[in-house]
Amino acid sequence: MGVRTPKQFCSVLERPLISYTLQALQRVSWIQDIVVAVTRENMEAMRNIIQRFGHKRISLAEAGVTRHRSIFNGLKALAEDQPDCKLPKPEVVIIHDAVRPFVEEEILLRVVTAAKEHGAAGAIRPLVSTVISPSADGCLDHSLDRAKHRASEMPQAFLFDVIYEAYQQCSDYDLEFGTECLQLALKYSHTKAKLVEGPSELWKVTYKQDLYAAESMIKEKISQEICVVVNTKEEGSVGHLLKEVLKNELNCINITSTALDHTGGDIQNFLIDPCYSFICVNVVSSGLQETQKFLRKLEESCLSPLYPVVVVLVHCLDFTLVPLTQKMENLMWIRELAKEVKTKNVLLNGLLINYSQDEQKLQENLRQGASIIAALVKERSSALAGQLLVA
């Protein structure tokens, strides 16, 4: 795939891809245990990932030399007849790929429900390209009817006994050369899997372009929610103005605003979904100590290890009254503080907006400010943390 690291260990926003997949699975409360098949050489790295990103309910099994041998080892960790099995045997088991991080609870529930009824079930997608069969001399033998075929994707779900029996009876040839679990259930357990249409986000991260796509999808996901923190003494003023412009600039984004004093101990309490972007308007940007207090609250809410958190300290002032460079000089502490919090995965920036008396110019500056905020939120570039920006 043009990169040397196994793709599940490739870094996306400074976190290995497999950690996103584990996060997606452990978010689902009814999944009891997650068994990860890992090669011996990556075992230590995998343990570090689990510890660093706080993954729960994970057990490790040793990967085999082929895909099917790895899955079989994973199943053995759940089977009562295995001497070193420590996990309870489940009624249903889900089989998933480490390189499909965008799996949602809904499709998991649908394949599990179908597996309970049919014994086996798997997500499918329409074919993007026509599938053809080559002849021995590398020419077209025939092409398949796209309407009559589907791509078999993940997740798949099985009654545990159905798939475990299939693997126990599976020939060495199939363990070496087969790829499709649904086919094993059909061949060895005579179970016809139910096919469930899944979303396009289930695609398998395979090539370099897929890693790029995954990174953009993750960035988009965590940028959907923005929290604008305003100063209570300024109700109806600049923070609210900026919020309106932001809503226009970043359409479809959910913007909550709160007064700093109301956030109490846990900054996440008033937010419905976890939030990784905080725009503080004329609130804490005036003082180092208040900012440090705010950042400590953020740290206590424990968001930053999973995703980089963007914090923009916005300061609106009339550049004709206070010289810009003088104000910048007063805010130089942001540069030092940004260096410090970057180690905790917080990306801190200052933004000065020229609060012009001219209404039209003010609107223009607010728009520019909003588009700078949008870029900081969407791109989450750690190289630009600590900069003082001007609109």
Binding positions for a copy of itself, 256-315, rule CB under 8 A:
none
Residue 86 interacts with, from Mg ion, a copy of itself, none (CB under 5-8 Å by kind): none
Q: Which two tokens stand for residue 330?
A: 């007063």
Closest CA to 228 of 211, 214, 246, 201: 246
Q: Which is nearer to a copy of itself, 304 or 387 (CB)?
A: 387
Q: Is 51 in the site for a copy of itself (CB under 8 A)?
A: no
Q: Name which of residues 169 to 188 contact a copy of itself (CB under 8 A).
A: 177, 179-180, 182-183, 186
Question: Shortest Cβ distance from residue 277 to Mg ion (Å)?
Answer: 37
Q: Is 247 in the site for a copy of itself (CB under 8 A)?
A: no
Q: Is 388 in the site for a copy of itself (CB under 8 A)?
A: yes
Q: Which two tokens stand for residue 177?
A: 């050369």
Q: Which is nearer to a copy of itself, 194 or 243 (CB)?
A: 194
In three-state secondary structure terms, 185 is helix
Q: Which is nearer to a copy of itself, 46 or 182 (CB)?
A: 182
Question: Shortest Cβ distance from residue 68 to Mg ion (Å)?
Answer: 10
Radius of gyration for the chain, computed over Cα atoms and rounded to the nearest angstrom: 26
Are the beta carbons of 356 and 196 closer than 8 angstroms?
Answer: no
Q: Which is nearer to Mg ion, 185 or 389 (CB)?
A: 185
Q: Which is nearer to Mg ion, 180 or 290 (CB)?
A: 180
Give the span between the Cα atoms of 94 and 57, in whole angstroms.
Answer: 14
- Beta-carbon contacts of 252 under 8 Å, excluding residues fewer than 6 positions away, are 224
Burial level of 117, CB count in 10 A (0-12/13-18/19+)? Answer: exposed
Give the span between the Cα atoms of 224 and 226, in whole angstroms.
Answer: 7
Question: Shortest Cβ distance from residue 88 to a copy of itself (Å)?
Answer: 29
Q: Which residues bind Mg ion (CB under 5 A)?
A: 130, 180
Q: Name which of residues 97 to 136 contact a copy of itself (CB under 8 A).
A: 118, 120, 122, 124-125, 127-135
Q: Name which of residues 16 to 35 contact a copy of itself (CB under 8 A).
A: none
Among 14, 47, 212, 266, binds a copy of itself (CB under 8 A): 212
Give the H or E element holding residue 242: helix 238-249
Q: Name which of residues 327 to 366 contact a copy of itself (CB under 8 A).
A: 328-329, 332, 335
Give the span between the Cα atoms of 50 and 210, in whole angstroms.
Answer: 24
Query: How far apart are the two ends of the chain, measured CA to CA in Å?
Result: 42
Question: Shortest Cβ distance from residue 266 to a copy of itself (Å)?
Answer: 32
Among 11, 169, 171, 209, binds a copy of itself (CB under 8 A): 209
Q: Which two tokens stand for residue 212?
A: 């790029």
Residue 342 interacts with, from a copy of itself, Mg ion, none (CB under 5-8 Å by kind): none
In three-state secondary structure terms, 257 is strand
Residue 289 interacts with, from a copy of itself, Mg ion, none (CB under 5-8 Å by kind): none
Give the span between the Cα atoms of 130 and 238, in whole angstroms.
Answer: 56
In three-state secondary structure terms, 202 is helix
- Beta-carbon contacts of 326 under 8 Å, excluding residues fewer than 6 positions away, are none
Question: Shortest Cβ distance from residue 335 to a copy of itself (Å)?
Answer: 7
Residue 3 interacts with, from a copy of itself, Mg ion, none (CB under 5-8 Å by kind): none
Q: Which is nearer to a copy of itself, 188 or 203 (CB)?
A: 203
Give the span between the Cα atoms of 93 and 164, in whole angstroms.
Answer: 10
Q: Which is nearer to a copy of itself, 104 or 201 (CB)?
A: 201
Q: Which is nearer to Mg ion, 130 or 169 (CB)?
A: 130
